[in-house]
Amino acid sequence: MIAVQLSGGLGNQMFEYALYLKLKSLGKAVKIDDFTCYGAGQRRQMLDVFGVSYERLSMEEYVALTDSNLRLSHRIRRRLTGRRDLSYREKSVNFDPQVLTREPALLLGCFQSEKYFSDIADRVREAFRFRNFVPDARTLDWERQIQNSLSVGVHIRRGDYLDPKYSALYQGICDDAYYERAIAYLKKSLTGARFFFFSNDPEWVKAHYRGADYTVVEGNGEDAGYADLYLMRSCRHQIIANSSFSWWAAWLNDDPHKKVIAPGRWLNVAGPVREPCVDIYTKEMIRL
C-alpha cells in the first residue's frame, strides 16, 4: 500500500492530490493521510471546495507504515533491530522519479512539478473543478469584470513570505523589480490589458500599484482563498509569484493563448545546485 501525506495550504494539497491521482492511474493501492499534519484543524478540508474524493489512511495503517506502534513488544523489537519506517521524502525540490515507484511507502513532500501528472492532465483538471463553491454576488461581479476585459491576474504573496525565518528562502525573488518587469512585458504585448491584483496584503498593494488599469481584488480572506483561486484562474493571462497557489491558477487557466509570467528563480537554495526548482516551470511559462 502507498499513502500520500497532505500538508501545507491549498496549493500544496493540490499537488499532493494530483500525485494521488497519478498513482491511482498506475493501478496502485493508494490512500491519503489527511490527519498527521493537521490534527483536528480545518486545513485538511481545503480540497473539499473541489468535491474530490479519496481513500483515507487509517491511524492503524499509518502506524504500520511508520513502525510507530507503542506497545512494549514493538518498542523492544525496535530497540533490538531498528525501526522499519517506510516513510519516503522526495529527494530534491525537482521531480523525483522514485516517488512513483516506492511501494509500500508513506510519501512525504511537495511534489511540485507537472512531471508527476502530465500524462493525466485531463483527469487532474476534471478533479479541480469548483463543484462545492457557489460564488457570492461580490465574486460574480469580479468574475464579470475579469471575463469582459483583457485580464491579467497578478499574484503578490506577502504575509508568511515576510517572516524572517523564510527570508533566506524567498527574499529577492518576487520583488518590486520582478513585478515591474512582468507588467511592462505584458503591456507591450497586450494592448489594453487590465491588471487584477490578488494578495494576502491588499492594503500594501493598493498603496504601491495605482493606475486606471490596476484593480485590487478584495473581500476574500485567506480562509476563503479558494475564491481568489477561482477568480485568478478565470483571468486570460497571469503573473505568478513563487507560490503553488498562483502556479495552480495559471495551470487551471485553459485559454490556449494565455501568457504566464513567472519569476526567473523559484527559491534561494544554498549549495551546489545550479538551478534549483527547474521542474516547477511549465513549457508556457515566461521566466523574467
Q: H/E/C letters for each residue in 99-154?
A: HHCCCCEEEECCCCCHHHCHHHHHHHHHHCCCCCCCCCHHHHHHHHHHHCCCEEEE
Cell of 59: 491511524
Q: Is residue 254 part of a domain?
A: yes
Which strands make up the sheet holding 2-5, listed edge to edge?
A: 30-33, 2-5, 105-108, 87-89
Domain identity same for 102 and 20? yes
Residues 161, 268: Cα–Cα separation, whole Å:
13
Q: Decide: 232 and 211 in contact? Cβ < 8 Å.
A: no
Q: Is residue 11 part of a domain?
A: yes
Q: Which of 56-65, 81-90, 168-177, 239-248 has the lowest mean pLDDT?
A: 168-177
Domain identity same for 94 and 218? no
Q: Is residue 132 part of a domain?
A: no
User: Domain limits at 56?
Assistant: 2-127
Last residue of a domain, one of 127, 145, 162: 127
The dihedral through the CA atoms of 86, 89, 91, 95 has a sign that is: positive
Domain identity same for 112 and 162? no
Cell of 7: 500538508
Q: Decide: 135 and 227 in contact? Cβ < 8 Å.
A: yes
Question: Would you state the pLDDT for residue 46?
Answer: 87
Domain identity same for 114 and 253? no
Task: For 154-208, write each residue's pLDDT tens digit.
Answer: 999 886 665 566 666 767 899 999 999 999 999 999 999 999 999 989 999 999 9
Task: For 234-252, write each residue's pLDDT tens digit.
Answer: 999 999 999 999 999 999 9
Average pLDDT over residues 224-236: 94
3-state secondary structure of 281: coil
> What's the domain count of the chain?
2
Domain identity same for 10 and 123? yes
- DSSP code of residue 276: T
Domain identity same for 185 and 76? no
* pLDDT greater than 80 at residue 73: no
Burial 222-240, CB ≥16 within 10 A → b, else e: eeebbbbbbbbbbbbbbbb
Q: Is residue 194 part of a domain?
A: yes
Residues 269, 281: Cα–Cα separation, whole Å:
16
The proportion of the chain whose per-residue pLDDT surpasses 90, expressed as a percent, equals 75
pTM reported for the whole predicted model: 0.93
Residues 249, 227: Cα–Cα separation, whole Å:
11
Q: Is residue 78 part of a domain?
A: yes
Domain identity same for 177 and 101? no
Domain identity same for 28 and 90? yes
